[in-house]
Structure 1
Amino acid sequence: MTFELQILGSGSATPMVGRHPTAQLLAVEEGRYLIDCGEGTQLRLLEHRRRLSSLRVVFISHLHGDHFFGLFGLLSTMHLQGRQEPLTVVGPPGLDLVLTTQAFHSRMQPGYNITFVPVDTEAHAVVYEDALVRVWSLPMHHRIACAGYLFEEQPRRDKLVKEKLPAGLTPTELAQLAQGQDLPADPATGRPALAHADVSVPAAPPRRYAFCSDTIYTPALAELVQGVDLLYHEATFLHDMRERAAQTYHSTARQAAELAHTADAHRLLIGHFSSRYKQLDAHLQEAREIFPWTELATEGLLVSV
């Protein structure tokens, strides 16, 4: 069962060769969910052989350019490619106005329906749900309205154990068991009642991924992402620049690790690195001193949960 994250960009606001603005692609089974869309994101998707037509939803954290300047270009390209499937865009209020203004002045009339879902960036609430995932907003504390997102896999059905199934079950009876139903006794065959629990094993707990976008260090976030399988947290600065981080409403690598530790996260990814850092070894070392299960969210990284 696929639950996989690919990093498309790990940089912050100032451009840098080899480091791209924030963008990530989450794949859950056949669902494809784009998280932030910095400049050039559609090129990153093409480089990694990801079909633009497969995107189901785009989540935007906030309206700083390095997190959404690539969105209109992506929408335009999907129009040129003849997309007809609807697309949902989830993001802070004002994003819809930006997109409609760009579309109006460029005379771009997409041939597919775009549904905009505004997010209350100060609330922790469900903002999107389909058959594969449920997505919650996470309040970030940044210079402008900003939300992170918690992706939770929909519960899976318990798995039938072939060796525990009696012979002679009909396709209908197997389907009922697969759906979690018990089977009554069958007088015609003499088969006793069959409980679903007796022929199945519990499904694995739903997997969860938390994307914490630009934010000043906010310990209260740990409660909202408690026990998450994979946590991404911005780490714009090293801890010796924590005052600068606070002034700009960003976090340090150490603070990201402290949040992961408090939240009992299973794994941590850190990203959104300032262009002042040409090498990132110090970020990784600083974070791992607090939370050993840390990785750098660098371009192209593929993480399976």
Structure 2
Amino acid sequence: MEKFELHILGCGSALPTTRHFATSQVVNIREKLFMIDCGEGAQMQLRKSRLKFSRLNHIFISHLHGDHCFGLLGLISTFGLLGRTADLYIHSPQGTEKLFRPMLDFFCNRLPYTVFFREFDTDKPTQIYADRSVAITTIPLRHRIPCCGFLFEESPRPKHIIRDMVDFYEVPVYELNRIKNGADYINPDGEVIPNSRLTRPSEPIRRYAYCSDTIYHEKVIEQIKGVDLLFHEATFSQSEQHRAKETFHTTAEQAGRIALLAEVKKLVIGHFSARYESESVLLKEAQAVFPNTILAKESLCLNV
């Protein structure tokens, strides 16, 4: 199968600790890299991951809290020092360019490449990027400021040719692309050879959902239904439910409930509060509701 990986660069929350970096991830789809959030230290973690900087052309910012965007200016500057020439696109909520453009003009005024801001509305699901490999759609969330997650949906792949059948019907090479994309074959005698006789279905498309900072919000369930992998914030344990509600965050138990109701295949929880020296209590709470749950950790790589 084509590559579809999630790399965790950081999974902590707002207060820095010696164990966790601030929130940042990289999704690798067919060797194209997409960064989600860019907390402080993201570029250091990106180096450790051994992912190629040159393959990162799009960064997606969920919201404008510092632990999700303080690393952006440093990363942009480093790209310039490395001699980058390819354009860089920042997909983010309204107001991001107004905030960052003066700093770029001051600190990064001689970049050898161009930074483009593509701002979006966080109130409704919107497709904000698509190419031959993936489509990316926003997931509206509820936080203290405008915030959204992101749904990565792999583009459908062509069907698989059954070589023996193609040879048997003497299908010309120039017809193969049409057949892979679902067309029947009409031979020189006018006989229609059904596509189903010449091909096997491609693998099912894979989907990854990223739900950043949010209060418990069941409205996301319909949009993330059945995804292969869900990242959901789990800042607090259930004993801190009042604090979670007050700060518009989710408990680990609530994250497990979202995964259960959405019938996802696998849940990874993160955005851990600095108050926990061990996240085992969070893992136990989530697994009690949704057993197929794991903890995010720096340098973790997951196949979707």
TM-score range, shorter chain: over 0.9
**Residue 166 of structure 1: how far off its partner (Å):** 2.3
- Give the aligned partner of residue 23 of structure 1: 24
* Distance (whole Å) between structure 2 residues aligned to residue 196 and residue 267 of structure 1: 34
Deviation at 1:195, TM superposition (A): 2.6
Q: Which runs of 5+ in 1 are unaligned?
A: none
**Is 1:174 aligned with 2:173?**
no
Unaligned runs of 5+ in 2: none
When structure 1 is superposed on structure 2, of 81-90 and 193-202 the one drifting more is 193-202
Rounded to whole Å, the distance in 2 between the matches of 1:216 and 1:152 is: 24
Pairs within 5 Å for 1:1-305:
1-167=2-168, 168-187=170-189, 192-305=191-304
Alignment deviations for residues 233-271 of structure 1 (CA, whole Å, 9 cap, x no partner): 000000010000000000100000000001011110100
SS of corresponding position for 1:56: strand
Change beyond 3 A, Cα 1:238–1:27: same
- Counterpart contact for 2:143–2:248, Cα < 8 Å: yes
Cα distance in 1 for residues equivalent to 2:267 and 2:49:
23
- The 2-side partners of 1:303 and 1:164 are apart by 37
Q: Give 3-state SS (helix, strand or coil) of 2:186's partner.
A: coil
CA distance in 1, matches of 2:155, 2:177: 20
The structural deviation recorded for 1:124 is 1.1
The separation in 1 between residues aligned to 2:188 and 2:57, in whole angstroms, is: 45
State whether residues 42 and 52 of structure 1, in contact with CA within 8 Å, keep that contact through their aligned partners in structure 2.
Answer: no
Report the CA distance shift for 1:296/1:179 in structure 2 as closer, same or farther (over 3 A). Answer: same
Separation in 2, partners of 1:107, 1:209: 33
SS in 2 for 1:90: strand
State the percentage of identical aligned residues: 40
Q: Distance in 1 between matches of 2:197 and 2:70?
A: 54
Equivalent residues of 1:236, 1:273 under 8 A apart: yes
CA deviations 1:13-53 (Å, max 9, x no partner) are: 00000210000110110211000000010110101111211
Structure 1's 175 and 134: CA in aligned 2 closer, same or farther, altered over 3 A?
Answer: closer
Give the Cα separation in 1 of the matches to 2:87 and 2:262. Answer: 36
Q: Does the aligned pair in 2 maintain the 1:76–1:108 contact within 8 Å?
A: no
> Counterparts of 1:150 and 1:97 in 2: how far apart (Å)?
26
Compare 112-121 and 4-13 and name the one that shifted more: 112-121
Cα offset for 1:192? 4.5
TM-score by length of 1: 0.95
Structure 2 counterpart of 1:175, which letter? N
Partners of 1:57 and 1:205 in 2: how far apart?
25
State the number of aligned residues. 302
- For 2:234 and 2:107, the matched residues in 1 are separated by 36
Provide TM-score, normalisation by structure 2: 0.95
8 A Cα contact 1:186 1:193, kept in partner: no
**CA gap 1:240/1:83 in 2 versus in 1, 3 angstroms:** same
Deviations 1:83-108 (A, max 9, x none): 11122110111211222111122252
- In 1, the alpha carbon distance for the partners of 2:219 and 2:114 equals 37
Distance across 2 between alignment mates of 1:256 and 1:166: 52
Deviation at 1:144, TM superposition (A): 0.9
